[in-house]
Structure 1
Amino acid sequence: MRILRSLIMVGVWLVALSVRADNADELARIKQNYARMLVPSGEDPSGLLSILSSIQPEKEMSDQAVVELHQRYPFDLKKITTYISSLTDAGTWPDINYEDKKRSGWEPKLHAERILELVKLYNSKQTAYYHSPEVETVIRKALDYWFTTRPVCLNWWYNQIGIPKTLGTAFILFEDKLSPTEKQQAITVMENAKFGMTGQNKVWLAGNVMMRALLQNDYALVKMARDTIASEIVSGGREGIKDDWCFHQHGAQQQFGNYGLSFVSGMSFFSGLFSGTSLAFDDRQLAILSTLIDRGYRWIIWRGMMDVNALGRQLFHHAPVHKALGLAFAASELGGGESQSCAAVATALLHDNYPASERNTLTGHKHFWQSDYTVHRRPLWMASIKMASDRIVGAEMMNGDNMKGYYMADGATYIYKDGKEYLDIFPLWDWRKLPGVTAFEDDAPMPLIKSYQPRNKGTFVGAVSDEEQGMTVMELDRAGVKAHKAWICTDDFLLCLGAGIQADSNLVVTTSIEQCHKKGELLAWKKKEWNTADEKQTATAGEHRFFHNNTGYIVWGNEGEIVAETANRTGRWHDVMQMYRPTEVQGEVTTLYLKHGASPKQAAYQYLILPAADKEKVADFDLSDIRILRNDTIVQAVYAEKKSTCWIAAYRPAQLAVAKGITLNIQTPGVYMIRKRGKGRYTISCASPTQQEESAKLEFNRKQIHISLPQGKEKGKTASVEVVVR
């Protein structure tokens, strides 16, 4: 019996040794993957490094995704030589303000970023600095400064996430050179990060814990961190990936370009980091991530630019360019090069954006129904609409970011052709006249946003879509202004309607049609010819046509004034994003907007946008084809004869004579689209913007129609039925 027990104990011991050996091998593989993925090799299989190298690097950065994108730049040896030569005996760099108190763009983070850059240089065989004693000395001195002084930011994020994330990577790449004392000091830095929080913050913190575990060779903690990271690769939670393939953080708030981009980039990195080990992401997890890119992110990137409506509060210089490129890197690296399905999604994304195709291949109409966000894509143009409701937080201001974005989710409507229409326009904007927004005209300081709670009291916010075209609606009840706003998106135009506009102030209320960079002349159609309208012009009610940058604007049937102007403006990035220095920039901005007067009671508007058009098309466009059936607080309805389509936003039950011989009795409030498919055959689509109805009921030429609307997680999506009406 004793011999048997001894044999069992020996067997257990051998198994334990084997497990420890396997665990040690896995830890070694993960550390090797760190070096393989982060130390420049000179390879550029996707061509993205060449594109990045052609873009001027930013001098001031706060966005973590952009910081990590810049860490991919090829080594600037001239700059690095300066780092080496200018480091003081105290281990500091004289151009960094170590006493900085900013909550965003905190300058001491530059110290950590330079350490990482030097460590990567030290480990790269591509330069003469490979294992250079001089570089090693500089790294040690810079590390000693951080270990000794332990700088602390007023913003918790840098202390727990940003700094450990940057220095942790450096520690792992430099681990073999760390003395026992230095290694313990490194672990102390990493102990600032602990498991917790939600969404991308949870992923960041777990990633930092994992780096500490690697330094401690603690396999169990590495696995725990990995499992915590992977636990966020799910959809349908309160935050994170939503069922509409958007990404939420800070409550019910669309965060594609901020936390969402860091999530995708981080998960792509981890998918490569764990490859070749038992901790690798499985096919289901990779499928969720690739679908998020394919059905979410691909829609918001246009010609290598991220939609302004997707940037969130991160309105940095060149943000659309950097964020789109960061996404491209993440997509191309997802799956560690071992997933064909991930590679296929990346190929599709890159094809449309790098270089940008003359004709976009991803076309259609998509409403992110859990996010109050609509994207409409055509071969030559794209439009996006961002809203808010009593369910969805529209915008946030935080840590000095987005200090003027109070109206960013009140129906902001952007039209893209080459993608540069709004690039870096933020310091020059009149932020109360964002395209598509109805708001007060005022020179007072912009109100501040102080919470993550929904601020629009409107409940009727949503869209109907057949994935080709659609109608988006917004009941605006916010900041003293009420309005019913609607957008109809088709293959060649965007029709915008407003009704019931009223305000609780004596200030003038406006609706902005466009506010973009000037590109060519602003022209007005007068007396059957185009005339320059670059100087400020004001016109009263009637039909007015304008043309600018291959886009036409037709305004008609309005009671107020229309203002058209191009003006040279000055502004400061600091006023929008306080991390920037208060230096002025200049530029010319073209603006079109409607004036509804002071204290309007039931004002309305209607205008048409014709993107990617020429002057002849705008001049010849036949408005008689577009019949505005109603435009009031009960119904906003339009019928287009040539498109055989009727779009209806019914805020209350109503009756409509749609066309000759076609009557409609809508019994359930909702957004409807009726498309004629043939003689007597129609497709009726419906969505409930309140997301409360179970079914839609209507009478179509005396025929009762019932449409079962999606419920549960699918609330807000479109449902359709095919009907025959004789």
Structure 2
Amino acid sequence: MPTPLSGSTGPSRRALLTAGAASAAMSAAGGAARAADREDMDDAEAASVKDDAYDTLLSRAAAQLTGGAFDPADPDFAAALKTLDTQAATWWRQLDRSAGRTALWPDLSPVSDPGNFGQSYTRLRTLATAWATPGTSLTGRAEIAGALLEALRLLHTSGYHPGRPESGNWWFWEIGAPRALMDTCVLLRARMPAEDLAAYTATVAKFCPDPDRRTSAPSLSETGANRADKAVIVALRGLLTRDAATVALARDGLSDKRDGGKNSLFRYVTSGDGFYEDGSFVQHGSVAYTGTYGSVLLGSTAQLIALLADSPWAVTDPKTSVLYDAVDRTFAPVVFDGLMMDAVRGRAISRERARDHHDGAATLSHILHLASGAPEAYARRWRALAKGWIRRNTVTPYPGLVGIPALARARAVLDDASVPAAERLTGHFVFAGMDRVVHRRPGWALTLSLSSQRIAAYEAGNGENLHGWYTGDGMTYLYDGDDLGQYGDGFWATVDPYRLPGTTVDTRARADIGSGAGTGTYRPKNAVAGGAVLAGRHGAAAMELLADGSSLRARKAWFCLDNVVVALGAGISAHDGRTVETIVENRNLHVGGPARTLTVDGRRQPGHDGWSARLDAARWAHLHGTGGYVFPDHPGRAGGLGLRALREERTGRWRDINTGADTGGSVTPVSRRYVTLWLDHGVSPDAASYAYVLLPGASVSATAAWARARPVRIVANDATAQAVEEPRSGLLAAHFWRSGTVAGLTVSGPCTVLVRRGQGGAAVAVADPGRTGVTVGVELPFRVRGVRRADDTVTVAVGRRGVVNVRVGGSRGRTHTVEVV
């Protein structure tokens, strides 16, 4: 296990960066001719930029790759250094250096294939980084530098050069290969002949001339992470060719100066790709992608801001606050103890080498990088967040997941006694722009992955996410502070993909998706997906399920009330002659160790794999190490409960779910143990329903006590409404599928409503997650004398039964609130 980054001594982050810049200062090789499109900096301004400005920034770029100067014997850096050295030494041993070679590595042949030359450049960057980093077995060796220069020539001649048209995956041509190539040129610039540098930068200039357009489709404007990545590539090319206008083009690409800010990374969007004011992040038009593309955008933009700081090309866009606010609004709610929630990682969940802890660590690193140049009010808060995440995750420790530059930034924070380690974020978050809901408590978090005609149920393609069929159908992720390996420990390679927690499914056999070239998404036809939040603490969410390739229909709702989550389903119908199931739990019990006890109504159940049972009379269950499950009676329930339980060991291969060219999984079998609880609705159910309550972290006795006391009552679960009431706190929460009345609460049309009454009055929250209404009226079951506070979209008619009128049209699913007395 890597050495933890606490209580260490050594150079500060500022000292590391300063020394790194000094040690890396080398003059760039001769410049290449400037490219034609240079509109952002005139000749006089370009001529005023002195050579030392380029040298300074190239040294800074090298330090961003190597971490600058550090003591290789320092235990905090030893593990990362060893990881780098081991990987680089492996690539070095396997590198074909023979005279007649046609590829650099046997597994990446032919080198003319875009995936192969793209990955070859990535490996060469690793070798170059190890060569430029002190303390590796490759450091400073002339033999290594010479071999790298020869390898780059082979790739240029046989694979990646201006004379070739793009083929296959555009990403390798326009982002993957040029990014790794420019990084490698930065590291080797003092050894690289001018003609080589000119050839490579000319190649990159053809395939990535600017951050603004897709070269393979010039009418397509780049957005989000792709724009950010291209901006870095163009900036490095400009520095290497000493072309001020090219560097300015890169900087201005962040703000989309070319198109008047239309695709600026520093603006909020209301549809399509980018950051939303509610904290959502979308890429590829309809995919919730905070954890991958959003993180990449954050990282590349942070890198460019830091790279160009205090230079003639410093990023000065006043709207960078959008990016700064996104750290708290977009990223922090979906990071749990350093893990990036899988609900916002799209097809990346199928990547064996990029699991939730890897993407979480990358995001943490990007946040600390951004903090180095952000206003102190932001930076102070982010450093506290990062410190808390690093210290709490001892299962997949941060030092073992990142390289030396990221370790240097983290160490500066951990060594600073003035930076507190922030506690876990708590609250309820509705990301209406990407159909995600997150409910966070001190010891756990629950995430809902929904979908609609606006947001894809899944993305698959290029051989990735082959079994992601049900990941957007209401999958419920439960993050437990005592089980941080739940989804990162072989989950996606071994879980039954037909039984994902929270989903209601038709048990038909499914074919692999996304096995061909290119990526695609599936968007269902339902309108309703989302919910409302009250006081940042309580929430209600709903989704209409219109199953893909099946007649299955269902109305699903979730009510998040502090430490309890109530899940309801109604109108579950299908006529295909197949069984329909709702999955309550499918918990990864990992491998080895004692069996975790499953208790049902006070009786321990068998703990051996292969055990299964029908538990139709069960009132509650408890799984040791996870929490409790209660199965209450509810309006609309008919017949037996239909609860089933299973213990099993499941074996799968990462290759079964990902065959991607550069992300494909291994064929090594992976085994994990699971406990699965599900509700069997029978064959072709007609208006079936369900109700279950999740009590995360509850003990056996607490679960039994809750089941007896029933402090939350289910007051409706049908085609009109699904609603719960918590009398002790004065809370009523409901989703209305149409106009109707529940527990004295009457609405004029579809909406989600939460009402909480107290001694001083009542708070009301209303949303239209279906986005079909213009106005909705909510008649309250009590007298209203006045208004204490109201959103500008809300008006109130006082009286014996007060009426809250809400203009929901155009609000894109957001919550409207009012406080009345």
Q: 1:43 deviation in Å? A: 4.7
Q: Out of 703-712 and 631-640, give the one that drifted further.
A: 703-712
Q: 1:454 deviation in Å? A: 5.8
Measured against aligned partners, the alpha-carbon deviations of 1:565-608 in whole angstroms (never above 9, x if no partner) come to 11011111111111123332111112111111111110100001
* 1:207-246 equivalences in 2 (<5 Å): 207-230=232-255, 231-236=264-269, 238-246=272-280
Is residue 428 from structure 1 mapped to residue 494 from structure 2 by the alignment? Answer: yes
Find the residue that maps to 2:714 and give its secondary structure. Answer: strand
Is residue 380 from structure 1 mapped to residue 456 from structure 2 by the alignment? Answer: no
Q: Which residue of 2 aligns with 1:114?
A: 123
Is residue 31 from structure 1 mapped to residue 88 from structure 2 by the alignment? Answer: no
Using the alignment, how far apart are the partners of 2:361 and 2:287 within structure 1? Answer: 23
Find the residue that maps to 2:304 and give its secondary structure. Answer: helix
**Matched-pair contact (CA < 8 Å) for 2:266–2:323:** yes
Q: 1:471 deviation in Å? A: 0.5
Q: Which residue of 2 aligns with 1:720?
A: 817
Q: Which residue of 2 aligns with 1:8?
A: none
State the one-letter code of the partner of 2:720: I
**Matched-pair contact (CA < 8 Å) for 2:58–2:240:** no
Q: 1:359 deviation in Å? A: 9.3
Find the residue that maps to 1:403 and give its secondary structure. Answer: coil
Cα distance change of structure 1 residues 81 and 597 upon mapping to structure 2, 3 Å threshold:
closer
**Matched-pair contact (CA < 8 Å) for 1:432–1:441:** yes
Cα distance change of structure 1 residues 623 and 399 upon mapping to structure 2, 3 Å threshold:
farther
Measured against aligned partners, the alpha-carbon deviations of 1:284-334 in whole angstroms (never above 9, x if no partner) come to 344222211111111111112111111111022251010000011101110
Find the residue that maps to 1:281 and give its secondary structure. Answer: coil
Q: 1:269 deviation in Å? A: 0.7
Q: Which residue of 2 aligns with 1:325?
A: 361
State the one-letter code of the partner of 1:697: G
Measured against aligned partners, the alpha-carbon deviations of 1:482-539 in whole angstroms (never above 9, x if no partner) come to 1110011121111100000112411111111111211664545456444446521112
Q: Which residue of 1 aligns with 2:189?
A: 175
**Matched-pair contact (CA < 8 Å) for 1:647–1:672:** yes
Q: 1:135 deviation in Å? A: 1.9
Is residue 138 from structure 1 mapped to residue 153 from structure 2 by the alignment? Answer: no
Q: 1:112 deviation in Å? A: 1.3
Using the alignment, how far apart are the partners of 1:75 and 1:111 within structure 2? Answer: 19
Q: 1:122 deviation in Å? A: 3.4
Find the residue that maps to 1:672 and give its secondary structure. Answer: strand
Using the alignment, how far apart are the partners of 1:29 and 1:710 within structure 2? Answer: 53
Cα distance change of structure 1 residues 18 and 715 upon mapping to structure 2, 3 Å threshold:
closer
**Matched-pair contact (CA < 8 Å) for 1:75–1:121:** no
Using the alignment, how far apart are the partners of 1:53 and 1:507 within structure 2? Answer: 57
State the one-letter code of the partner of 1:133: A
Q: Which residue of 1 aligns with 2:788?
A: none
**Unmatched 5+ residue regions in structure 2?**
1-41, 161-165, 214-220, 256-263, 394-420, 782-799
- TM-score w.r.t. length of structure 1: 0.87
Using the alignment, how far apart are the partners of 1:16 and 1:496 within structure 2? Answer: 65
**Unmatched 5+ residue regions in structure 1?**
1-14, 55-71
Cα distance change of structure 1 residues 525 and 588 upon mapping to structure 2, 3 Å threshold:
closer
* 1:192-591 equivalences in 2 (<5 Å): 192-195=207-210, 196=213, 197-199=221-223, 200-230=225-255, 231-236=264-269, 238-282=272-316, 284-315=318-349, 316-317=351-352, 319-337=355-373, 339-356=375-392, 360-418=423-481, 419-423=484-488, 424-446=490-512, 455-466=523-534, 467-479=536-548, 480=550, 481-518=552-589, 521=595, 523-526=597-600, 528-532=602-606, 535-541=611-617, 543-557=619-633, 559-578=640-659, 579-591=664-676
Q: Out of 148-157 and 359-368, give the one that drifted further.
A: 148-157
Q: Which residue of 1 aligns with 2:732?
A: 646
Q: 1:172 deviation in Å? A: 2.2
Find the residue that maps to 1:495 and give its secondary structure. Answer: strand
Q: Out of 177-186 and 125-134, give the one that drifted further.
A: 125-134
Q: Out of 93-102 and 160-169, give the one that drifted further.
A: 93-102
State the one-letter code of the partner of 1:477: L
Give the one of 745, 750, 756 matched to 1:675: 756
Q: Which residue of 2 aligns with 1:708?
A: 806
Find the residue that maps to 1:188 and give its secondary structure. Answer: helix
Cα distance change of structure 1 residues 405 and 666 upon mapping to structure 2, 3 Å threshold:
same
Q: Out of 259-268 and 546-555, give the one that drifted further.
A: 546-555
Equivalent pairs: percent with the same residue?
24
**Matched-pair contact (CA < 8 Å) for 2:81–2:135:** no
Using the alignment, how far apart are the partners of 2:579 and 2:159 within structure 1? Answer: 53
**Matched-pair contact (CA < 8 Å) for 1:686–1:707:** no
**How many residues end up aligned between the 2 structures?**
680
Using the alignment, how far apart are the partners of 2:569 and 2:333 within structure 1? Answer: 26
Q: Which residue of 2 aligns with 1:59?
A: none
Q: 1:115 deviation in Å? A: 1.9
Using the alignment, how far apart are the partners of 1:262 and 1:447 within structure 2? Answer: 25
Give the one of 720, 734, 741 matched to 1:655: 741
Find the residue that maps to 2:287 and give its secondary structure. Answer: coil
Q: 1:268 deviation in Å? A: 1.1
Find the residue that maps to 2:249 and give its secondary structure. Answer: helix
**Matched-pair contact (CA < 8 Å) for 2:430–2:533:** yes
State the one-letter code of the partner of 1:715: R
Measured against aligned partners, the alpha-carbon deviations of 1:603-651 in whole angstroms (never above 9, x if no partner) come to 1000011111111111221353222111011111111122221111111
Is residue 684 from structure 1 mapped to residue 764 from structure 2 by the alignment? Answer: yes
Measured against aligned partners, the alpha-carbon deviations of 1:88-139 in whole angstroms (never above 9, x if no partner) come to 2246544533238998xx4544421232223233333455755432222121
Cα distance change of structure 1 residues 145 and 672 upon mapping to structure 2, 3 Å threshold:
same
Q: Out of 195-204 and 292-301, give the one that drifted further.
A: 195-204
**Matched-pair contact (CA < 8 Å) for 1:372–1:462:** yes
**Matched-pair contact (CA < 8 Å) for 1:475–1:485:** yes
Using the alignment, how far apart are the partners of 1:115 and 1:612 within structure 2? Answer: 47
Measured against aligned partners, the alpha-carbon deviations of 1:178-206 in whole angstroms (never above 9, x if no partner) come to 21321222123313223313222223233
Using the alignment, how far apart are the partners of 1:344 and 1:603 within structure 2? Answer: 52
Q: 1:73 deviation in Å? A: 5.6
State the one-letter code of the partner of 1:405: G
State the one-letter code of the partner of 2:657: V
Q: 1:163 deviation in Å? A: 0.7
- TM-score w.r.t. length of structure 2: 0.78
Q: Which residue of 2 aligns with 1:62?
A: none
Cα distance change of structure 1 residues 375 and 551 upon mapping to structure 2, 3 Å threshold:
same
**Matched-pair contact (CA < 8 Å) for 2:456–2:521:** yes
**Matched-pair contact (CA < 8 Å) for 1:473–1:484:** yes
